Amino acid sequence: MFGKKIKLFNLFGFEVKIHLSWFIIAFLVTWSLAAGLFPSYYEGLSTSTYWIMGILGAVGLFASIIFHELWHSLVARRFGMPMHGITLFIFGGVAEMEDEPPSAKAEFYMAIAGPVTSIIVGVIFYVIYILGDIGGWPTAATGVFSYLGFINFILAGFNLLPAFPLDGGRVLRSALWKWKDNLSWATRIASRIGSGFGVVLIIFGIFGFVRGSFIGGIWWVLIGFFLRNASQTSYQRVLMRRALEGESIKRFMESDPVTAPPSISVDELVQNYIYKYHFKMFPVLEDEKLVGCVTTRKVKGIPQEEWNVRTVKEITEECSDDNTISPEADAMDALSTMNKTQNSRLMVTEDGQLVGIISLKDMLKFLSLKLDLEQQDIKQIKRIPTSSE
């Protein structure tokens, strides 16, 4: 979902990671607090004090976001939902779910846990601020606690907007799901509302930009685009899951895939296989035995002047759960593996033997045909890119 991520630590069994885009928002938050908010509210302090307040405020904000997402994850685990972890990125944080909630009840409790947590954290910070103010703490300390109390209330309020996939949108979806007992319909309605909120935020940002609030306007536009895209993508995933669940991979895998021998040079692989067939991964067979696969990622790690002297065997990746799957596996298992590993092709193996190749492109073609024949919302699926093949 997010591309390159850096693991920070484990928290209650969940990996906490940051996306590279997080560093942008971390700097912007620190700078806006140190150069804007704190100097305007607390005059007469030194520049270094403002920057210390800014850093502490930013750290507190992101700790609050992690705590918010942690409770989503804990409640999800309570209902048996597998979670990948928590990722901080440019627009905040997200608890990464592997699957849709098993019921409307699970959806409701998981969604509401985050805002409730933020409200509790906000109250705690605000009480600390009051106690510090009464106790005569330094202005810098009470100022940071006051900000953290306020920002947690804002975090809860924003997430409670009925704009899917924000927490409020998930609460709305859970109510619609419970009402009609139809997850696809509930997701379609909630995602349309979320997309509409995204448009409103974009318009709001444009007005702010015109009125001279350049940075604020840009952020509202970016958040609007993000919310609109996230709501549409969430609906796409539900459609895909409903269409592909129960479909075994052997139904649409390529049973006679192109394979590469380990003895050829990397240059031969590029010229006679990659450029000819346009695939990013090829199984490697030696004496009819599967030894692994070779990918364009591995090729790019070899200097081009060495392509003639290096062989495919040297850059072959061994078979693993990241590049192989059983022919009896569910298509959604394949999609989950592709999403996790960023691979668009997987080797289908049985008893250690290669029996085929499953590609993202072939699954999406099957999906498009199935939805078209069954009169489902085909326009949503047509937005899914297939160029990763």
Q: Residue 117: its pLDDT value, please?
A: 95
Question: Which residue has tokens 């409903």?
Answer: 242
Q: Is it the case that residue 387 has pLDDT exceeding 50?
A: no
Mean pLDDT throughout 59-68? 92
Which carries the bigger pLDDT value, residue 382 or residue 96? 96
Q: Provide, rounded to the nearest whole percent, the portion of the chain with pLDDT above 70.
A: 93
- For residue 376, name the pLDDT band (cuts at 50, 70, 90): low
Residues 151-172: tens digit of each pLDDT: 999 999 989 989 888 899 999 9
Q: Is it the case that residue 47 has pLDDT exceeding 60?
A: yes
- For residue 312, name the pLDDT band (cuts at 50, 70, 90): very high
Mean pLDDT throughout 176-182? 91
Hey, is 358 helix, strand or coil? strand
Q: Is it the case that residue 135 has pLDDT exceeding 90?
A: yes
Contact 179, 189 (CB under 8 A): no
- For residue 13, name the pLDDT band (cuts at 50, 70, 90): confident
Q: Which CATH class is domain 249-360?
A: alpha beta
Ranges of each domain in the chain: 5-244, 249-360
Q: Provide, rounded to the nearest whole percent, the portion of the chain with pLDDT above 90.
A: 47
Mean pLDDT throughout 91-110? 81
Mean pLDDT throughout 52-68? 93
- Residue 274 has a CB neighbour count (10 Å cut-off) of 19
What is residue 48's DSSP assignment?
H
Rounded Cα gap, residues 145 and 126, in angstroms: 7
Rounded Cα gap, residues 288 and 148, in angstroms: 63
Mean pLDDT throughout 351-379? 77
Q: Is it the case that residue 302 has pLDDT exceeding 70?
A: yes
Q: What is the pLDDT of the chain when averaged over all its residues?
A: 86
Q: Is it the case that residue 49 has pLDDT exceeding 50?
A: yes
Q: Residue 8: its pLDDT value, please?
A: 79
Rounded Cα gap, residues 193 and 337, in angstroms: 30
Tell me the two tokens of residue 277. 């067939």
What is residue 274's DSSP assignment?
I
Q: Is it the case that residue 373 has pLDDT exceeding 50?
A: yes
Mean pLDDT throughout 358-378? 74
Residues 331-343: tens digit of each pLDDT: 888 887 887 788 8
Q: What is the dihedral of CA 107, 111, 117, 118, to 10 degrees?
A: 180
Contact 65, 93 (CB under 8 A): yes
Q: How many angstroms separate the Cα of 31 from the Cα of each of 28, 143, 242?
A: 5, 16, 45
Q: Residue 389: its pLDDT value, please?
A: 42
Q: Is it the case that residue 382 has pLDDT exceeding 50?
A: no
The distance from CA 156 to its chain's CA centroid, rounded to whole angstroms, is 20
Residues 254-289: tens digit of each pLDDT: 888 999 999 999 999 999 999 999 999 999 998 889
